[in-house]
Amino acid sequence: MAHFTKATSVKDWLNQRLAIEKVEKVMASEYWIPKNINFLWAMGMVLAITFGLLLVSGIFLLMYYQPNVETAFDSVNYTIMQEVGYGWLWRHVHAVAASVVFLIIYIHMLTGIYYGSYKKGREMIWISGMLLFVAFSAEAFSGYMLPWGQMSYWAGMVITNLFSAGSLELNGVVEWIRGDYVPGQAFLTRFFMLHVLLVPLAILALIGVHFAALRIPHVNNQDGEDIDFDVEAKKYLAGDTKGSKVIRFANDFMSKDMFVVSIFLVFFFYLVFWNYGFAMDPVNFDPADGLKTPAHIYPEWYFLWSYEILRPFSKDVGLIAFAFAQVIFVLLPFLDRSPNVKTANKRGLFGIWFWLLVIDMIVLTAMGKLPPQGIYSTIGFVAAIGFIGLWVILPFITAIEKKV
């Protein structure tokens, strides 16, 4: 058993039992971050704060939401939005944060790709991040079912239908997932469970893994420089804070993070109070009706690019292309054959590849929402082929990349 002495202070008492000073060093004051970074490195903190907003607003919504096909719609649109004091605020915060969190995730992902932050020991950061993306997607989809509006119902119908695997016609699987032939009470209750328990648990666990994956390879920097963190940390602790290439996580890095977070929150609350339509689809303010298919069915904006990879092809080809789009980002660290950890713009063909990918995904996103007719179908088809083509050529163009 460890040796305990009479505590001289509360801090000392806790220190003997929990080693709080050591924990503080490991987690904050001697957790070293490169100095050569820009505001894009604060996206992790912005995501953590947004997740916090989702969690807190979600807890408040959970106190009044009723997962019942008869009462779900009114419990959201009447009880929460009209009767509960500031219920509307929690709902707007929850809905807008659920949409904006994906904007930040995409910025965070593209930052990682642009600066090469998935290579040379950082593969697990990337992979755990992509698993988080999958978990957030599941969370967003299951949450979208809960208000039991027209889009909830029909999105639930369309997405669960994908599991019939096209020509394999695995209708039993679809029924098993729905708990019924069509979305109904069993469907709503299980997606409620997924949304408030199982998926959030997975997200919390994955956030732990994602943070842990950062410890050994450390955070990347703007120039992909291979920093000797031990040497630089010693320099900092010796008092050469200006000369050292690293800074403390807290308060050095944190102070910059919080400034970026504050700017983000201004933008966020502007959306919450004045421009929330993009995150709360008007069609979903009609109660679910299994006999009335909406004129246009489309997912939320953050799923549109992968939806458009599914849509322009025939059933089976579309499903294969869709499955390809879902997993291909995870494989990025292995498909990129170049050892260069540098900004995309300094990597020749890869730089062109990066910007083509960004543009292609924006085109897919736009076409995914537009009705699949005429020129929009054609553009969508070309963009979907382009997306697959970009990933197919990636190993080849990076294999011939010069060492920089």
Partner 1 sequence: MFKELSILAVVVAFSLLTYWLVEPFAHSQMHAHIETKHFKYTDLPAITKTGNAVAGKELVMGAGACTGCHSIETAGMPAMMPAVDAAASYGVNPPDLSTAGALYDANFLVAMIKNPAHATNLDHKYPADGSKMHPMVAFYGAGGDMDQEVADMVAYLQSIAPKAEEVTPKVAFENACGRCHSMRYKNWTPIGEKGKFKYKKDELRFDASVLDYQDYVVKYMGKLPPDLSMYYRSRGEHFLETFIEDPQSHLKGTAMPRVGVTAESAEKVVEYLRDAADPKHAEREETGKNVMIYMIFFVLFAFLWKKEIWKKLH
Site string for partner 1, 58-77 (x = CB under 8 A): ----------------x--x
Among 14, 25, 38, 62, binds partner 1 (CB under 8 A): 38
285 binds partner 1 (CB under 8 A): yes
Q: How many helices (H) and strands (E) does the chain have?
A: 17, 2
Mapping DSSP onto H, E and C, the string for 302-329 reads HHHHHHHHHCCCCHHHHHHHHHHHHHHH
- Find the binding residues for partner 1 in span 293-332 (CB under 8 A): 295-296, 301, 304
- What is the C-alpha separation between 31 and 317, in angstroms, rounded? 48
Helices (H), 216-314: 229-237, 254-274, 304-310
Residue 246 has phi, psi (to 5 degrees) of -120, 160
Residue 259 in tokens: 């400034």
The DSSP code for 159 is H
Closest separation in Å from C-beta 230 to partner 1: 19
- Our CB check for partner 1 shows the closer of 205 and 366 to be 366
> 337: which residues sit within 8 A by CB, 6+ positions away?
395, 398, 399, 401
- Our CB check for partner 1 shows the closer of 76 and 199 to be 76
- Residues 186 and 178 sit within 8 Å (Cβ to Cβ): yes
Residue with tokens 């697959």, as numbered in its chain: 388
Site size with partner 1, rule: CB under 8 A: 55
Choose one: 8-16, 120-128, 204-212, 239-247; the region binding partner 1 (CB under 8 A).
Answer: 239-247
Closest separation in Å from C-beta 87 to partner 1: 9
What is the distance of C-alpha 185 from the center of its chain?
Answer: 29
Tell me the three state secondary structure of residue 99: helix
269 binds partner 1 (CB under 8 A): yes
Among 261, 328, 379, 390, binds partner 1 (CB under 8 A): 261
Choose one: 138-146, 358-366, 384-392, 396-404; the region binding partner 1 (CB under 8 A).
Answer: 358-366
Residue 149 has phi, psi (to 5 degrees) of -95, -175
Among 242, 314, 402, 403, binds partner 1 (CB under 8 A): 242
- Our CB check for partner 1 shows the closer of 107 and 158 to be 107
- Our CB check for partner 1 shows the closer of 185 and 241 to be 241
- Bridge partner list, 19: none
Among 28, 89, 162, 205, binds partner 1 (CB under 8 A): 89
Among 113, 146, 174, 247, binds partner 1 (CB under 8 A): 247
Residue 18 in tokens: 């929990």
Residue (of 127, 113, 44, 126) closest to 341 by Cα position: 113
Report the interface residues with partner 1, using CB under 8 A. Answer: 35, 38-40, 74, 77-78, 81-82, 86, 88-89, 92, 103, 107, 241-242, 247, 251-252, 255-256, 258-259, 261-263, 265-266, 269-270, 272-274, 277-278, 280, 282-287, 295-296, 301, 304, 358, 362, 365-366, 369-371, 376
